[in-house]
Amino acid sequence: MEKERNYTLKIWRQPNAQSKGEFKTYEVKNISTGTSFLEMLDILNEELTLKGEDPVYFDHDCREGICGMCSLFINGRPHGPDEEVTVCQMHMRMFEDGSTITIEPWRARAFPVIKDLVVDRSAFDRIIQAGGFISVNTGVTTDANAILISKENADLAMDAAACIGCGACVAACKNASAMLFVSAKVSQLALLPQGQSERKRRALAMVEQMDKEGFGACTNTGACSAECPKGIDLSNIARLNREYFTASVS
Amino acid sequence: MGWFTKLINSSLGRKLLMSLTGLFLITFLVIHLIGNTAIFKGDDGLAFNAYAKFMSTNPLIHTVSYLLYAGIILHVIIAITLYFRNKSSRPVGYDKLNARANSSWESRNMTLLGLLILAFLFIHLKDFWWQYKYHGGYEFQIDADGNRDIYALVIEQFKTPFALVSYLIGLIALFFHLKHGFWSAFQTLGLDHKKYTPLIKALGLLYAILVPLGFASMPVYVYFFK
Ligand code: HEM
Ligand code: SF4
Ligand code: FES
């Protein structure tokens, strides 16, 4: 067993959307290396609660890397230093004993802070509502193999569908651009037969909503894909550009 | 026309224009570089002066040159609108930011690099284009072939340390701008392919090195060896 570690936490505290907010410093002690990052925050919050202080608010739900709720900007990177991992799946062994860990909320005009480290990501929901769906009649489930799909497209669509909507791409981008998210959501449907009938309308409507929400434009820095916990590829952004331009002129 | 205004007002439409004007400038730079190599001919500038005369009098080139001015102006204006839009998308920044972990420096500083190129362009145009086309005050000699001797002006300018340093700074900025911009322009157009994208990236790096190096060779040659 490796010895337990101690950390200094520098955490953004902000009582509500209107207030200014500031960093507060906390000490956590005797954290085992196998503790997950969120469990470490649970330990801190337990102590704060026992002392009668307001616990640190942060988003989380599944804690197994599939829901996209956890959203912490740790030591200058969304989801922290580990590669292709959400913060809920990252362990404290990633952080040296005695080090200071800075924890901030996602920063974007389109993601306003609600409280402490919790931000409002409903802008993503509105982008999906604008066109990130297919219209099908409900009824009996159809045979999954009735429509033939090439292996290549099926794989690409599945890769795009891995996006969990966490917003790390926006948080990482110097322009707070949502292009990687939108491109994944457009791609997963554009690549499949079921997505064809609404294909053009979808690309136009989702980009329009993305712009309206106040996300920045894409400079192709690649920060989004490098920080994406699901490894969504930049080729999706190229596909979104194609989808949007062809939909615009046709 | 509704679709067109909608397109160019969208973030993607703006980027489309950045990409197209950028690729146009990339094409122009190759032609400009090839033409300018006449400076190395060792004929006291006869070929270079004839080339300059051709470029300023040929009607086709004349038309294309207006397209070029428009292209540069458009590229710069959209760059500035994008800069402000992108800035306003993150009103509160991070206290601790490790951008190096996920992106290249040049990709994050395209505006700064562009402004350096723009500053260089002003110096460059004032030195030659302004003098040659708009008679900015320099008295041109006439060479043995009866052409105005812009070669002599080039030599005179490139003998100054200010020209040497400003050209080198401008061309280093161009190297970084294109190191990211060349591939980026294809990505913006949606031209991405499993097999060809690595090729475009390699070609982009090659271009970003060779073209600025080619241009830099001229002031360096004149300053040190002429
Ligand atoms: C001969 C000179 C120039 C060439 C060949 C050139 C080329 C390019 C290319 C190919 C791109 C990539 C387009 C894309 O990402 O789709 C680009 C982007 C850019 N250029 Fe230039 N450029 C030049 C001058 C300038 C100047 C004078 C500025 C002035 C501010 C500028 C500012 C920018 C900016 C800000 C971008 C990035 C836009 C973004 O993605 O947000 N460039 N340039
Ligand atoms: S593209 Fe990646 S980083 Fe962006 S929302 Fe989807 S999973 Fe998160
Ligand atoms: S809490 Fe669900 S992905 Fe992290």
The structure tokens listed for A48 are 């704060």
**Which uninterrupted H or E stretch holds A7?**
strand A5-13
**Which uninterrupted H or E stretch holds B180?**
helix B161-189
pLDDT value at position A131?
Answer: 98
**% of chain A residues with pLDDT over 90:** 94
pLDDT in tens, A231-250: 999 999 999 999 999 999 98
* DSSP code of residue B23: H
ipTM of the complex: 0.94
Residue B220 carries which side chain, given as an amino acid letter? V
pLDDT value at position B1?
Answer: 59
**% of chain A residues with pLDDT over 70:** 99
Are the beta carbons of A132 and A125 closer than 8 angstroms?
no
pLDDT value at position B178?
Answer: 98
Q: Nearest C-alpha of chain A: how many angstroms from B122?
A: 25
Q: Find the mean pLDDT for residues A14-31.
A: 97
Rounded Cα distance, B114 and B178, in Å = 10
Using an 8 Å CB-CB cutoff, list chain B residues near A175. Answer: 86, 89-90
Show me where the domains of chain A are located: 4-104, 122-249
Distances (CA, A) of A3 to A26, A29, A40: 21, 11, 15
Work out the pLDDT band at A2, boundaries 50, 70, 90.
Answer: low
pLDDT value at position A138?
Answer: 84
| A180 Cβ closer than 6 Å to some ligand 2 atom | yes
Per-block average pLDDT, block size 10, for chain B (226 residues)? 85 97 98 96 94 92 93 97 98 98 98 98 93 84 93 95 97 98 98 96 98 98 92
pLDDT value at position A16?
Answer: 97
Domain A122-249: CATH class, spelled out: mainly alpha
pLDDT in tens, B170-182: 999 999 999 999 9
Ligand nearest to the CA of A223: 2
Work out the pLDDT band at A142, boundaries 50, 70, 90.
Answer: confident
**The domain at A4-104 falls in which architecture?**
Roll (3.10)
pLDDT value at position A19?
Answer: 96
Using an 8 Å CB-CB cutoff, list chain A residues near B183. Answer: 220
Residue A70 carries which side chain, given as an amino acid letter? C
Rounded Cα distance, A116 and A105, in Å = 7
Using an 8 Å CB-CB cutoff, list chain B residues near A219. Answer: 82, 86, 107-108, 110, 184
Ligand 2, atom 6: nearest CA belongs to which residue?
Answer: A163
Q: Find the mean pLDDT for residues A182-195.
A: 97
